[in-house]
Homo-oligomer: A and B are copies of this chain.
Amino acid sequence: MINKLNDKIKKTNAPIVVGLDPMLNYLPKHLLDAGIKKHGESLEAVSDAIFEYNKAIVDATYDLIPAVKPQVAMYEQFGLPGLEAYKKTIDYCHEKDLVVIGDVKRGDIGSTSAAYATAHVGKVTVGGKTFRPFDEDFATVNPYLGSDGINPFVDVCKEEKRGLFILVKTSNPSSGEFQDKLIETEDGKKIPLYEYVGAMVDKWGADCMGDEFSYIGAVVGATYPEMGKVLRNIMPKSYILVPGYGAQGGKGVDLVNFFNKDGLGAIVNSSRGIIAAYTKDQYKDKGITEQNFADASRLAVIDMVEDISSALKNR
């Protein structure tokens, strides 16, 4: 699956991923009204509206992008109907041949981690039949519980040729509270915890190589470009999934450190900046309304790719 992701990035020339994170206040009113007309004021109404919203954005952008990253929390907050929209969105993105990164940030130990791996990148057998519960191509994973938590995910990924992005340095302002703390390594060196986790990602990934890259990648926030530079060197074979572009403050020029010399090895996420582009003044001048919201998403994808491409050219 890492080969597919890498190939699609080369073909589209777009090292970006569209974050399908539907907040209630982004949903165009006509979609929510249609849901309520069908199901009444209910979670099912929101679920329908979310799927229609995602579908329109995917239809408007799928030829330009390699991948999408639905954030499961944004679906989970609407209970079972919300998660039904999550699953329908994943299935629809597969139909469009997009790589699907499930931003689930799961993490537990032993058989529990194995169960999460089954849920998101694995399969389960009942009697003579096999099912893929959520069927993402990649899942994001939290490393706080150590190797016991990661290994069951890695085992499933090896079998299924799917992949992980492990949280190393997150994009939020307080990510340093624990992640930046200086620790002593086994050989007496003092390094920040995120570097140590990065070295573990490199180790976990060494045994999971695709053609050019490992299918065990890392999450490093766009908001920390200097740390990105260091981590790029620590994990040369890992794709870096970079959140924090746009709304969280990351800019194209901040991103060059996350890429290898050949412009590969990183994939930058934007959620709000693309899916809620129709609310921005810059697109209102171009004939965008709430009705044709998805056209704004297409314009925002083109602008984002241009921003990153020119930063990579000028580095």
Interface residues of A in 67-120 (CB under 8 A from B): 71, 73-74, 76-80, 82-84, 87, 105-113, 115-116, 118-119
Is A61 engaged at the interface, CB distance under 8 Å to the other chain?
no
Is A270 engaged at the interface, CB distance under 8 Å to the other chain?
no
Report, as a range, how many residues of chain A touch the other chain.
35 or more
Interface residues of A in 128-165 (CB under 8 A from B): 128-129, 131, 133-134, 142-149
Q: Is the Cβ of B105 less than 8 Å from the Cβ of A107?
A: yes
Q: Is the Cβ of B119 less than 8 Å from the Cβ of A145?
A: no
Instruction: Give which listed residue, B77, B145, B181, contacts A193 with CB less than 8 A.
Output: B181
Contacts of A145 in B (CB 8 A): 167, 170, 172, 174-175
Q: Is the Cβ of B133 less than 8 Å from the Cβ of A149?
A: no
**0 or 1 for each of A19-44: is its CB under 8 Å from B? (1 = yes):** 00101100000000000100001110
- Min C-beta distance of A114 to chain B, whole Å: 8
Is A267 engaged at the interface, CB distance under 8 Å to the other chain?
no
Among residues of B, the one whose C-beta sits closest to the C-beta of A44 is: B126
- Min C-beta distance of A172 to chain B, whole Å: 4
Is A59 engaged at the interface, CB distance under 8 Å to the other chain?
no
Q: Is the Cβ of A115 less than 8 Å from the Cβ of B41?
A: no
How long is the Cα–Cα vector from A23 to B41 in the complex, in angstroms?
36
- Min C-beta distance of A298 to chain B, whole Å: 24
With contact pairs A74-B115, A167-B144, A171-B109 given, residues A36 and B133 touching in the complex (Cβ less than 8 Å): no
Instruction: Give which listed residue, B80, B108, B134, B177, contacts A147 with CB less than 8 A.
Output: B177
Contacts of A216 in B (CB 8 A): none
Contacts of A293 in B (CB 8 A): none
Among residues of B, the one whose C-beta sits closest to the C-beta of A111 is: B23
Q: How many copies does the complex hold?
A: 2
Q: Is the Cβ of A77 less than 8 Å from the Cβ of B133?
A: yes
Q: Is the Cβ of A73 less than 8 Å from the Cβ of B108?
A: yes
Is A46 engaged at the interface, CB distance under 8 Å to the other chain?
yes
Contacts of A78 in B (CB 8 A): 119, 124, 133
How long is the Cα–Cα vector from A46 to B130 in the complex, in angstroms?
13
With contact pairs A126-B41, A126-B45, A167-B144 given, residues A79 and B87 touching in the complex (Cβ less than 8 Å): yes
Is A303 engaged at the interface, CB distance under 8 Å to the other chain?
no
Interface residue ranges, A against B (CB under 8 Å): 21, 23-24, 36, 41-43, 45-46, 71, 73-74, 76-80, 82-84, 87, 105-113, 115-116, 118-119, 124, 126-129, 131, 133-134, 142-149, 167, 170-179, 181-184, 193, 196-197, 200
Supply 13 further A-B pairs (C-beta < 8 A) apart from A43-B133, A79-B119, A109-B171.
A42-B126, A42-B129, A42-B131, A71-B115, A73-B112, A76-B116, A77-B118, A107-B107, A142-B144, A144-B167, A145-B170, A149-B174, A178-B193
